[in-house]
Structure formats: C-alpha cells, structure tokens
A and B are shown apart, each in its own frame.
Chain A
Amino acid sequence: MSSRVVALAGYAFFAAAWLGMQMLAKRPGSRLPMFRPAMARLMRTKSGRVGVIAGWAWLGLHFFAR
C-alpha cells in the first residue's frame, strides 16, 4: 500500500469518525454530546472562545490569504 493511500485513509478515518460520533450522539440517551454543544462547552471560557475563533480565522488566512 502506498504512503499516499495510507495518508488518505487516515484523513478518511477522521472524517468518518466525526460523522459516526455525530450519529451516535443523536441517539436518545447517548452520553456523547453533539458536536455543537461540545464546541459551546469548549468556548465557555474566554481563552477557549478566542482560541477556537482565532483557529478558524487562521484557517481562512492559511488557505486563501497572502
């Protein structure tokens, strides 16, 4: 198996894990929170909120900006 396939399989695994966790969280009585409340919890402090939003801002700069 080429290293490219391994790399792509890794990214696919994380994408599938995100979808799988989101579906598990939707089940009634699930202890796993949905992605949105988990992010809200992460952003309940100032450093968490600024960190997440600045991380998002950096993504935009990284992919598009000079």
Chain B
Amino acid sequence: MAHPGQDVAREATRADRRALSRPAARAVVAALRDPVVWVFLLAGIFEVLTGDPIAHGTLLFVVAAALAADAVARRLRGRMAATPATEPAETEPVPDLAIDLMPSPAMVTIGIALYAIAGSSFTRYTWPMTLVVGVPAIAAVAWSWRARQGESSSLPLDRLGTWLWIGLFVGLALWELRELLLQPSLTTGSDANPTISRLLDPILSVQSGRLVGLLVWLGLGRFLIGAASA
C-alpha cells in the first residue's frame, strides 16, 4: 500500500511534467505553423522524389529543421524570461558582419564578376564547381541566421501588394510543378513539358552560359542581402 506522502509526491511530479510539456508542445505547434518550414519540407521531398543529389535535399530538410528548432527554442526562452516571444533574437545587438565588412559597391561588383569568370571555367556537377557555389551559399545562409532586421523592412507596405508579389512566385512554383508532373516520370526530363532546369541545361553546359548563370545567381544573392539589411 502506498504511503499518502508518496501519492502527493507522485501527483506533484505529474503536474510538474504537465507544466513543462505543455509550453513545449505549444512551442512545437507554433513552429510548425510557420509556412517557411513547410515550404522547405515539401521542396526537400520533391528534391528526393526527382532523384536529385542527396546533399541538395538535405540542405532543404536541414533548413526546415533548424528553423523549427530555433522557433521552439526562442518561444521557450521567451516564456522563461516572461517576455513576449515575438522574435526576441531580432532585437539582440548582433554585429552585422557581412555588411560591416562589405567594401564599396563597385568593388563588390568587380569581385562578383571575377569570381564568376573563374568559377565558370569549371564544369557543372563537379567538386570544384560545388565549392564555387557552396562557399558563398554557406556564407550567405550563415549571415541570414545572425543578421539583424533591416530598418526599411519595417516600413508600412500595402498588404495586398505584398501578397501579389508572393502570389506571383507561388504561381511560378505551381507552373513548374505542373510541368514536372507532366513529365514521363519525376526522374525523366521532357522537352514537351520542360522544367526551368531542363530549359537552362543547354545554356549552362557551355562556359559563357555558366558565366551568365553565375553572374545572375551571385547578383541575386547580393540583391537579397542588400534588401534584407537595408
């Protein structure tokens, strides 16, 4: 027969566990409500289904998992500090390393051009080319993880207008998905229903095409970092 004191202790432990697990469960649910997490999960699944290299799909799954884990951790930290859990990390005075160290725009443009010229001499899907795109890709993602919110991003924008831009890219993604699903199989490309990758293959297989491709990709990265930190 259990001692009455033991029952009280057991009940208290259960209550403690409930009290601990409820905020954690709520934090997980809140993290899973973030559409960015689902976009990356879905993209990762399609990456695997289309037979692309494991590393590409892994990147997408890792980003989804890291964002979800970070959201859970920040929410729990926010609760423990008894402060609102809305983006506490954004207000931390983190040095904006990439931008602080950035040389003049002209120097960046020259740097991007030289990097693209050197990088385009390597064939696609080789280890040297993987290094060429991997280095700026990792640097930019690391920057985005630590960067502060730009001041202009908090300026009021028309909600409908912003959704129109998002709708444009969602529409393009759905069109690409339509073409992908109309292929003979997910792993077999089709000229009748070409995806963007299929259309760009002949261009990126020659050095001049790779040069333009790398310039556009690096330029887009620079544009996005500039927009995020403006």
Contact = CB atoms under 8 A, between A and B. Distances in A.
A63 B141 contact: no
Interface in B122-154: 124-127, 129-130, 132-134, 136-138, 140-141, 143-145, 147, 149-150, 152-154
A56 B184 CA distance: 28
A21 interface: yes
Given A10-B175, A63-B200, A38 B133 contact: no
B217 A63 contact: yes
* Size category, B interface: 35 or more
Most buried by B among A21, A40, A56, A64: A64
Contact of A53 (B141, B175, B191, B210): B141
Main secondary structure of the interface of B (DSSP, over half): helix
Given A54-B59, A56-B224, A59-B217, A66 B125 contact: yes
A41 B164 CA distance: 13
Contact of A38 (B56, B162, B182): B162
Interface in A42-57: 42-54, 56-57
* Size category, A interface: 35 or more
A21 B168 contact: yes
A40 B129 contact: no
A46 B87 contact: yes
A11 to B, nearest CB: 7
